[in-house]
């Protein structure tokens, strides 16, 4: 399995848009900083055709340490969620069918 890194995205933009490597890096950084800042302020990031990033507040609750069985208090926290668009979901599924891959979540 390959991993797409930020450096690879910069390289793709550099080659595709015919801009300098420095400009491509600045572009990627600006987009990511905008997304991070928006999520930090509690707003939803909607990217049509890709998906939505959202921050949910989880309340404090009681949990259990699976090793010891001891009950512990899990503190309240914010969690980020991503919900892919139907378009992205279909493209990923078609891509997996073409390569014969199974989703790791749905593998039996």
Kindly state the helix (H) or strand (E) to which residue 62 belongs, with its residue range.
Answer: strand 61-64
pLDDT band at 55 (very low <50, low <70, confident <90, very high): very high
Per the structure, the complete domain to which residue 55 belongs is given by 44-100
Mean pLDDT of 71-91: 95
Check whether residue 14 and residue 56 sit in a common domain: no
Check whether residue 70 and residue 34 sit in a common domain: no
In CATH, what number is assigned to the domain containing residue 32? 4.10.520.10
Within-domain flag for 75: yes
Q: Are 94 and 103 in contact (CB under 8 A)?
A: no
Mean pLDDT of 57-71: 94
Check whether residue 59 and residue 16 sit in a common domain: no
- Distance spanning both ends of the chain, measured CA to CA: 19
Average pLDDT of every residue of the chain: 91
Can you say whether residue 48 is alpha, beta or left, with left for phi > 0 and alpha for psi between -120 and 50 degrees?
beta
Within-domain flag for 105: no
Tokens of 84: 């892919």
Higher pLDDT, 108 or 96: 96
Within-domain flag for 106: no
Please check the confidence at residue 68 and state whether its pLDDT lies above 70. yes
Please check the confidence at residue 107 and state whether its pLDDT lies above 90. no
């Amino acid at each position: 399995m390959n991993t797409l890194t930020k450096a690879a995205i910069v390289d793709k933009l550099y080659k595709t848009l015919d801009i300098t490597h420095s400009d491509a890096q600045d572009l990627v950084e600006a987009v990511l900083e905008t997304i991070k800042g928006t999520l930090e302020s509690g707003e939803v990031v909607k990217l049509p055709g890709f998906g939505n990033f959202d921050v949910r507040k989880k309340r404090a609750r009681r949990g259990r340490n699976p090793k010891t069985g001891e009950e512990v208090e899990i503190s309240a926290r914010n969690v980020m969620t991503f919900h892919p668009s139907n378009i992205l979901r279909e493209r990923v599924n078609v891509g997996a069918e073409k390569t014969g891959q199974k989703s790791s979540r749905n593998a039996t």
